[in-house]
Each structure stands twice: as structure tokens, then as C-alpha cells.
Amino acid sequence: MLIRRCAVVWLEPREVASFQLDDLLSGGTGVVSRLAWFAHAPHLGAAIEVDAAHALVLGALSPVDWIERDELDAGFGGDAVDALLGAGLLLTNVEDEEVAPADTNFRELGWHPPAAVAHMAARWEGVDGPKGMAEADVDTNEGLLRQHGLPPSPVEPCLSPESQLALPRIERDDFDALLDTRTTCRNYDPEAQVPLAAFSQLMARVFGARGIGHPAPGFDVYKRTSPSGGSLHPTDCLLIVQRVEGIAPGLYRYRIESHALEPVAPAIAPPQLGDACTRPLGDAAQRVWSDDELHAFARIAVAGQDFFADAAVLCVLAPRFHRNFWKYRNHAKAYRVCVLDAGHLSQTLQLCATQAGLGPFVTGAINEVDLERAFGFTGYRQSPLVVCGFGARTDTLTESEFDPNRKVWPRD
């Protein structure tokens, strides 16, 4: 039997704390820490703890060249090899392994290894952000100030004020007024529908094709209103539609090539009120979700931020990494370009929604793993980077919005 290491694995020494009753009873705090080693292998989806002695095995193997198992056993022991094979960190040339296809698929994508590790390790599952912040007493500026003191200054100190070159004052126009009116919405009308025409216009302006090029046979590139590295536009818009006139609530994929919505059958059990995370569908039959179940999923998607979950439409921006990495293969900046792509699209949505008289939002505090599970993604192939959205504002300011110039509130 031949063995080699998986494509990418990074080892992290991590201090792990746990509650120990014996320590508490003996006069301690009850919190005992230990040093553990965790292996980050993107094809596995999450970090796994490994024995410290096994790190030597991983460091002795190539991700490309195969080695005879007997030789490895002689050097490190069969138990260590078995443990790493069982964890999916070592692979054999036997074709029926369960984890081998994932490693093979990952190898084909062209990830820069540090970027792959960072992306997969930073994904959330079942996180309730506001609840966690409230428990930590940092849900308000007062709590942050108590814990961390004053924040860094919003500007760097000017070392030579007399050397500053003053710029001409600008004449404000309608576009300035639009920019000043863009304010993150936290107060959505839970009953108001977005008109179908307004929704269609936003999809076309932000995510639709403004033109198409054919650099080579079979190679098509679209033009959007936002820039994209290499004109590749790898970012898909997946939708949680809650209230749009004429569209049944549910999950959709926006099709850039046809300006249409493709229904997505959720690959999870219907979420329930109060759920912190999604559950696999299992053997249950898929069915249409109720409005309450869809809203419960929206809340999970934005990590418990209820004010965003109330939006009429939530847009999940998820790059197909292999589209970008086809050109920027194993490139140190390729993942950064994907992040920029999502940022450009979300800002264009902010302005277009504001111009349409709707309240926009964007957040990076999302449960990527739960979204991947629902939309059928594999995290290293396609994964959400942000969730943005829009809807009609309510007439009452309940949640604070940063509107220092009073361009939005009070409502007319």
C-alpha cells in the first residue's frame, strides 16, 4: 500500500480550556488549560485535534510523492499511521477511500495554501452574535470602553499641519445627496413587500450582465456594474426572498445569463424559531418552508442579527473559487480578489437600493457553514463571504442607525 500526505495541512498549537470539578473543589478556579495540536486541512472542512507525536509523521511526508506503508510504519509506528489515515490527513492509493475524493477535488482548484486555511478556519456555524456579545458585556459602546479603553483615533496625527495642501471645496450635486442618504438599515417593515419591478431593477443593476465578451472559443466573460479581477466575476448571488411581490418566498439563485431566478431546494431540515444552527435533511422529504421557517433560516444566516433577518431580501454573495483560481492559480492574492469582488457588489447594492428608496445592509457576521449546508456548497469550492440585503424601512426607529446628518431619520 502506498501513502502520501493530503494536499494542504497546517498545524496549530492551541491552548484549550475546560471545566474540571476536581480543580474547583481543591481551591482552583475550575478552569484547566492544556496545550493541544490541531491540524487544519481545508478538504476536511474543520480543524481536528491530533497527537503531538503525529506532527512528525505529517512533516516527513510529501503531498505529491507516494511512499510504501511498511517504510512509514517502521519509522513512526503503525498506530500513528492508522490514526492519521483515520483522520483523513494521510491518504492511500486505494480508490475506495471516503476522504480521497475531497482531497482530489481540493487539489484541482488552485488555492494558495495559507488562504485556504484562513478561509476554512474562519467560517462560522451556529453562532448567535448579538447573544454572545451581550453575554460578554460588549454589546454597547459602554461595554467596549470598559473592557478596552478608548479606540484608536479615527485619523492619524498630522505631523506638520502647516504643510497641508487644502483642496478646493466641491459643489454638491444629486449624487452627493444619494451618497449621504446611504445608511445601513436596521429597522425593516416586516409586512412591506418589495415591488417586483424594483426587485428586478436591483438584480439587473447590481448582479446582471451589462455586456458579454468572448476572449476565446468557449470562454465567456460578463461585464457588471462592479469591477472584478480578470473580469471573471466569480461571485454568485444566492437569495433568501421573504417579501417580493409575485415571487414565492424561498431560496433562489440569480442567473446572470438569463436575468432569472432559479429555485433552490434547501438541503437542510426546515429551521424552527430559536434554532441557532441548521440540521441536515436526513431521510426526511423536502418540502416548502413556511414564512416562519424561512425567517428562522434568515436569522441563522446573519448570526442572530434580528434586525437584518427582517429584510425583505437577503443576498448571499458566494464566490465560485475555481472560476477565479483558473487564472490566478495558487496565487497569493487570488483570495483577496474574491473578497474585493464581494465588497464591490455589496457597495453597488447599497447605492442602488438607496436610490430605489429601500434600506440596505451588509454584514460579514454570518454563519457560512449553515449557508453552505442549505445551498449545497462545499466550503473550499464555493462559500459565502458576506450577506447583504434590502427592504422597506419601518416608520419607527427601534434599532439605532448611524445617521449623524439626519438624512433618513426622522421619517417623513
Write the CATH number for 242.
Answer: 3.40.109.10
404 prior amide bond cis, ω within 30: no
The answer on 189 and 66 residing in a single domain is no
Tell me, what's the pLDDT at 136? 56
Report the phi/psi class of residue 27: left, alpha or beta, with left for phi > 0 and alpha for psi in -120 to 50: left
Indicate the SS3 state at residue 215.
strand
Does a structural domain hold residue 201?
yes
Secondary structure, 3-state, 29-79:
CCEEEEEEEEEECHHHCCCEEECHHHHHHHHCCCCCCCEEHHHHHHHHCHH
Cβ–Cβ under 8 Å, residues 281 and 268: yes
319 & 215 share domain: yes
For residues 177 and 105, membership in a common domain is answered with: no
CB neighbours of 37 closer than 8 A, spacing ≥ 6?
A: 11, 12, 13, 14, 49, 50, 51, 52, 54, 55
409 lies in some domain: no
Is 162 domain-assigned?
no
Are residues 99 and 181 both part of a single domain? no
Does 98 share its domain with 195?
no
Q: What's the pTM value of the predicted model, to 2 decimals?
A: 0.92
Residue range of the domain that includes 60:
2-109
Domain count, the chain: 2
Residue 343 and residue 199 in one domain: yes
Residue 53 domain flag? yes
Of 65, 89, 109, the residue that ends a domain is 109
pLDDT average per 10 residues of sequence, the chain (412 residues): 95 88 79 90 95 91 95 94 95 80 95 97 92 60 84 90 92 95 97 98 97 92 95 97 98 97 96 94 90 98 97 98 95 96 98 98 98 97 98 95 92 74
Query: Does residue 43 form part of some domain?
Result: yes
Q: 86 and 196 share a domain?
A: no
Please compute Rg for the chain using Cα positions: 25
Distances (CA, A) of 328 to 85, 204, 344, 390: 31, 28, 19, 33
Residue 268: partners with Cβ closer than 8 Å, 6 or more residues away = 278, 279, 280, 281, 370, 373, 374
* Distance from C-alpha of 91 to C-alpha of 106, rounded to nearest angstrom: 14
Last residue of a domain, one of 109, 137, 157: 109
User: Residue 134: its pLDDT value, please?
Assistant: 58
State whether 71 and 202 are in the same domain: no
Contact 326, 110 (CB under 8 A): yes
pLDDT for position 96: 61
Is 178 in the same domain as 318?
yes
Task: Tell me whether residue 287 is in a domain.
Answer: yes
Domain end (from 109, 131, 146): 109
The residue length of the chain stands at: 412
Please give the Cα distance from 218 to 84 (Å, whole number).
42
Cα separation, 301 vs 363, in Å, equals 10
